Structure 1
């Protein structure tokens, strides 16, 4: 007997069983009897869907003696970009290898023999393949901006120039040393780094036994003196605090280098300190008051969109502020950003209606020599007579216009229109 079934289906329970049922009632438990599967159903299903197979049944698992299988990690795909440069000075080839871990390996070669531009592209491709083979790369993706090299290697184009056939044969022989290799065309605008390497190799002069070591390309988004004149200091002082300290006491910032000190001495000669107010010398002789960040924002708002603000452009806004006698070191950049963010300027600015394509002038030597024809429709809603199309013809010299409306426009009606309104 199933005790759970007995507990939930017995109409009257006494003692401890009643207390158990009362405690289980709060969980909304419903007992459902599991249906039994009859063996005849399985037999009928197998007889209805027979399997036609003459192979003997074998209940022995394949490779049951193998306990575990170790799957080797798949080697990542390397990428190489190549480009060649042939100019009036010499020829150069640039190659960039990129590892699966996104590590860049740039290489540049100088070619001291005469060759055409296509030969330089092939040579750059060969150098990239040889560099990958020397490292032991087996899976490689090759990208280049030379359509001739890429499509000839892919077999889409035939090689007709005799000078390029040996290079193509060498590339095809090197391709056999890779387990997987693909060639894809890359736009020149996206291949600028390798193009710069090839141009650099062709323009730099060095001896036959010399080799230029790799160089580092870094980015600087601000001038070296920005910490002293172009931004607020760490302690919240305005941008001209170091200039005031130098003019008043001859004191330099604590972390200033020799270059920063030299720049500060030269830059401070353009300012005048009078009664704790710093003025900037201008070319027209007017002394400009130096303002801090909060004051500059107020000046921008009042001059651009104040009571008499005409919502001028960034150049006129900067000139207007200088004419009023105010100055801060990022004046022009702040004016450009302020005008870009002005909501009214974005809505009511003057839009230049320039056509997307170049317009060509159509000249007519004498009247009724050149006509232009166009069709307008379907017009919705229809006219009172049910017409939906309008056929128009205009003469370019006199601007004479002929029009006719139609319910259904066909070639016969267009020919009749031309005969009645233009030819005759």
Structure 2
């Protein structure tokens, strides 16, 4: 799956004008558990997810049946329940030349998957949220509560604040489109001191 993701990233870089102008549909059945059990590989995947977040890409399985390996992984790791909410805490931090992204995805049984990503360029809070939504979807969550300490991004997603910047509007549309796969989802603003784990992950990778 890592090779497929890298091929998609390289293709997007070479054909950027086409990717920006059209919706891209990717058909793939590679099992996610091989990535999830190797944190270093999964970190690279999240970095590519953020990069590809600029484009309107829809990922579809080649057949209706989910990969058995993914089902086995989810059953053993998190035992997802469609009636229960997953909690996703996200945060980002930046220096002059790089950004750090931190996310903590907590399943209903209380098991956590922590993601930390360093990006050698500047990213927005919208990109951080988009990457977290995609990661939650791939892990198997069907209902999520997304927590961020950014008032701007939470209020824009809730359509309380108006987004005027073109890039901001584009990412908001991508976020809404990606979130449609969930049975239910909401985003809530929380105080910074309640988002400590995600913040620490983001700061950790920036300082490396």
Q: TM-score range by the shorter chain?
A: 0.5 to 0.7
Given the alignment of the two structures, is residue 171 of structure 1 paired with residue 158 of structure 2, yes or no?
A: no
User: Could you tell me which residue of structure 2 aligns to residue 99 of structure 1?
Assistant: 107
User: Could you tell me which residue of structure 2 aligns to residue 112 of structure 1?
Assistant: 120
Contact 1:95 1:127 survives alignment (8 Å)? no
User: Could you tell me which residue of structure 2 aligns to residue 82 of structure 1?
Assistant: 90
Given the alignment of the two structures, is residue 152 of structure 1 paired with residue 156 of structure 2, yes or no?
A: yes
Alignment of 1:200-239 (within 5 A): 200-204=204-208
User: Could you tell me which residue of structure 2 aligns to residue 197 of structure 1?
Assistant: 201
TM-superposed deviation, 1:92 = 1.0
Distance 1:100 1:80 in 2: 11
CA RMSD in angstroms comes to: 1.5
Contact 2:97 2:120 survives alignment (8 Å)? no
Flag the structure with larger Rg.
Answer: 1
4+ residue runs over 4 A deviation: none
Aligned length: 128
Contact 2:86 2:106 survives alignment (8 Å)? yes
Structure 2: give runs of 5+ residues left out of the alignment: 1-80
- Per the normalisation by structure 2, the TM-score is 0.58
Cα deviation, 1:7-65, whole Å, max 9, x if unaligned, reads xxxxxxxxxxxxxxxxxxxxxxxxxxxxxxxxxxxxxxxxxxxxxxxxxxxxxxxxxxx
Where 1:109 maps in the other structure, the secondary structure is strand
Cα separation, partners in 2 of 1:74 and 1:165, compared to 1, 3 Å: closer
Structure 1: give runs of 5+ residues left out of the alignment: 1-72, 205-424
Cα separation, partners in 2 of 1:74 and 1:83, compared to 1, 3 Å: closer
Where 1:88 maps in the other structure, the secondary structure is coil
Larger strand fraction of residues:
2
Distance 2:199 2:116 in 1: 10
- Per the normalisation by structure 1, the TM-score is 0.29
User: Could you tell me which residue of structure 2 aligns to residue 129 of structure 1?
Assistant: 133
User: Could you tell me which residue of structure 2 aligns to residue 252 of structure 1?
Assistant: none
